[in-house]
Amino acid sequence: MDERDHKNLGKELGLYIIDETVGKGLPMYLPKGAAIRRELERFIVDEEIKRGYLHVITPDIARLELYKKSGHYPYYKDSMYAPIVIEDDEYMLRPMTCPHHFQLYLSKPRSYRELPMRIAELAKLYRYEQSGELMGLIRTREFCLSDAHIVCASEEQAVEEIGKALELVEYANGIFGLEYGKDYWYKLSLGDRNNPEKYGTNNDAWDKSEDLMRKFLKNKDYKFEEVAGDAAFYGPKIDVQMKNANGKEDTAFTVQYDFCMPERFNMNYIGEDGKEHRAFVVHRSSIGSIGRTMALLIEKYAGAFPLWLSPVQAKILTVADTHKEYAKNVFDNLMNAGIRAELDDSNETLGKKVRNAKTEKVNYMLVIGDKEVESNNLSIESRDSGKLGEKTIDSFIEHLKKEIADKK
């Protein structure tokens, strides 16, 4: 059994469960797992907004007609949930957000001055994966994707946005402590001219778009492999690949060039010349499926998360009942400061409380005994740095806030 396997650690650390009564491939996040997921979501939404993304919210369900319009329905039919009939119309749980975002774009006439328009969403998606393919948080039937669709005025602008999307991916990977070449690498996923059923017969568009992506990667001096037949049906993509604890390779994040959807949706804009022009589209997922990314980070850190991601950042341990009042005051101060803290004032021995906190991989342990009550201070032990001596409550909170902000 791999000690880093997120399925084992997820159970040990109380992060998530999958209940057969609820359904296979439908994870439920426990409070500690929800705290990690919440931090990942806040991090990427805040970062994307800083980079000019327009965050939206669209429905988890739409008319089947929308997916027929986009062309997704024939290709994804086998992995989509069955249609839901409402008032003689058919609806689907969505497997992707691009058609929703395109309809938002089409809600009014657009000018070249608005482009590039970066439409982003933390979107819940639903795909009926085969039972044999399901695995923990890595492959599920419901997931939340850090999704975006960038509407561009030209191919040159689209290539520029592909570069910016990869810069965001690399920035996020740096925050997560992931190294290029060691923890992740690139794959250029191409179409297949011998499979016109999936990739159509517009070979000129495929040749041109694949060449654009290839030249971009080469100009950036990225090492990458090319794989035919792995592209989306609407265009080639750059996949960011990682391996899980079991050695299986997965696509974690992706950036895709789309020459098909603007035509299907008649996505135009008014140019500087006052005439209508066809738009270009880039699809991208900055940190991919939040659940899959969480699984990869559980395995990378073996459950010992950096402070900003840790579900329990500090745990307060009492020596005796006489220390409960002061311990509760410390707990309240930490919680009011936005620190994720727990208080263990049970009747267990201090030794057992310490062992439990270490098993839970808590970042900081605060032992409260006679000395701490008398001095009105804290004795602090760090999971990573050992004993830190005494601090006041206020100075400890400032220490935590700085470490959280630094995301080390």
For residues 46 and 116, state if they share a domain: yes
Domain assignment of residue 23, yes or no: yes
- Both structure tokens of 205: 């568009």
Residues 264 and 384 in one domain: no
Residue 309 lies in a domain: no
- pLDDT given for residue 316 in this prediction: 98
Shared domain check, 337 and 293: no
Residue 365: what pLDDT? 98
Q: Tens of pLDDT along 322-373?
A: 999 999 999 999 999 999 999 999 999 999 999 999 999 999 999 999 999 9
Cβ pair 257, 237 in contact under 8 A: yes
pLDDT of residue 157: 94
Residue 356 lies in a domain: yes
In terms of phi and psi (left: phi > 0; alpha: psi -120 to 50; beta: otherwise), the region of 298 is alpha
Helices and strands (H and E) in the chain: how many: 14, 20
pLDDT (0 to 100) of residue 408: 81
Helix-helix angle 290-301:155-176, to 10 degrees = 40
For residues 356 and 283, membership in a common domain is answered with: no
Q: How far are the Cα atoms of 162, 191, 392 from residue 158, in angstroms, in the given order?
A: 6, 19, 53
Which pLDDT value is given to residue 62?
Answer: 96
Give SS3 for 315.
strand
What is the domain-level CATH number for residue 386? 3.40.50.800
Residue 28's DSSP bridge partners are 17
Residue 53 to residues 26, 44, 119, 165, 192, Cα–Cα distance (Å): 29, 11, 6, 11, 32
Cα distance between residue 213 and residue 203, in whole Å: 15
What CATH number is given to the structural domain containing 69? 3.30.930.10
Shared domain for 333 and 267, answered yes or no, is no
Spacing of C-alpha 165 from chain mean position: 14
Q: Are residues 269 and 332 in the same domain?
A: no
Q: Domain ends where: 266, 301, 336?
A: 301
For residues 174 and 241, membership in a common domain is answered with yes
What are the pLDDT tens digits along the chain (408 aa)? 478 999 999 999 999 999 999 999 999 999 999 999 999 999 999 999 999 999 999 999 999 999 999 988 877 778 889 999 999 999 999 999 999 999 999 999 999 999 999 999 999 999 999 999 999 999 999 999 999 999 999 999 999 999 999 999 999 999 999 999 889 999 999 988 878 877 776 788 888 888 988 988 898 888 889 888 888 787 899 999 998 877 888 899 999 998 889 999 999 999 999 999 999 999 999 999 999 999 999 999 999 999 999 999 999 999 999 999 999 999 999 999 999 999 999 999 999 999 999 999 999 999 999 999 999 999 999 999 999 989 999 999 999 999 999 998
Q: Answer yes or no: do 268 and 197 share one domain.
A: yes
Residue 68 structural domain: 6-301
Domain finish residue from 301, 327, 356: 301
* Within a domain: 308: no
Look at residues 270, 301, 332 and tell me which one is the last residue of a structural domain. Answer: 301
The span from the CA of 297 to the CA of 303, in Å, is: 8
Same domain, 157 and 67: yes
DSSP one-letter string for 224-255 = EEEEET-SBTTB-EEEEEEE-TTS-EEEEEEE
Looking at the fold, whether 219 and 171 belong to one and the same domain comes out as yes
Q: What is the pTM of this model?
A: 0.94
Which of 41, 10, 239, 47 minimizes the C-alpha distance to 138? 10
Coarse DSSP helix, strand, coil percentages of the chain, rounded to the nearest 5 percent: 40, 30, 35
Question: Do the domain assignments include residue 295?
Answer: yes
The Cβ-side half-sphere exposure at 21, using a 13 Å CA radius, reads: 0
Residue 74 lies in a domain: yes
**The pLDDT value given to residue 234:** 79
In whole angstroms, give the CA distance from residue 339 to residue 380: 15
Number of independent structural domains in the chain: 2
* Same domain as 334, residue 243: no
In order of 207, 322, 324, 356, 388, the CA distances from 375 in angstroms are: 73, 15, 15, 26, 16
The verdict on residue 307 lying in a domain is no
Question: What is the greatest pairwise CA distance in the chain?
Answer: 80
E strand or H helix at 283: strand 280-289
Any domain includes 306: no
pLDDT at residue 5 in the model: 94
Chain CA centroid to CA 288, Å: 5
* Same domain, yes or no: 323 and 278: no
pLDDT digits (tens, 9 = 90+) for 149-198: 999 999 999 999 999 999 999 999 999 999 998 899 999 999 888 788 77
